[in-house]
Structure formats: structure tokens, C-alpha cells
Amino acid sequence: MIKTCGRCKKQFKIITEEKKFLDKMSLPDPVNCPNCRHELRMEQRNDRQFYKYPCAKCGQEMVTTVNPKKGYTVYCLKCYADFRANVDLTKV
């Protein structure tokens, strides 16, 4: 199966095994050649967004790669360590 890459317009082949796998997973056919898919993945990694979010305990702003949803509790590393330490203590 020959497809034209939507990014570089080069033709690429979807091998039977890949097609079978895509069908099995109900995934659409890839629109980009493997090369572009790889490049796009790299770009996405570089573009990874950083969010500033205040620690739920001390309120100090920290940077997280996770998009903090509303009501999502995040602790800074220090508070998280304290939290863990406290949990361990109550267990003993």
C-alpha cells in the first residue's frame, strides 16, 4: 500500500504487518512517512510545554510538564518528600 506523505510529499509504503496492526487497533492509516513521523515526534518533544503551578502545600511556584487540571493537587519536591515521610511515619 503506497501513500503520499502529507508533510514532505514523498511516497512511502505501509507494510502489510503495519496495516494489520493499525486495523486491529482501529487506528487510521498514517498520513506521514516514517521519517516525518520521527521528526514530528522529536519536534513535539522539544515543544513540550511547561506549566507553572503553585505547590498545594507551601504555595511555591514550580514548573511541571503535566498540564494541571482544575483541582489537581501537586506538591513541590520538598513537600512531596515531607508528605511521603509523614505517611511512612503514621504507618509505623
| Contacting positions for Zn ion (CB under 5 A) | 5, 7-8, 33, 36, 55, 57-58, 76, 79
Helix (H) / strand (E) containing 26? none
Query: Closest distance between Zn ion and the C-beta of residue 51, in Å?
Result: 16
22, three cell numbers: 493499525
Query: Closest distance between Zn ion and the C-beta of residue 37, in Å?
Result: 8
Nearer to Zn ion, 9 or 45 (CB): 9
Query: Closest distance between Zn ion and the C-beta of residue 13, in Å?
Result: 12
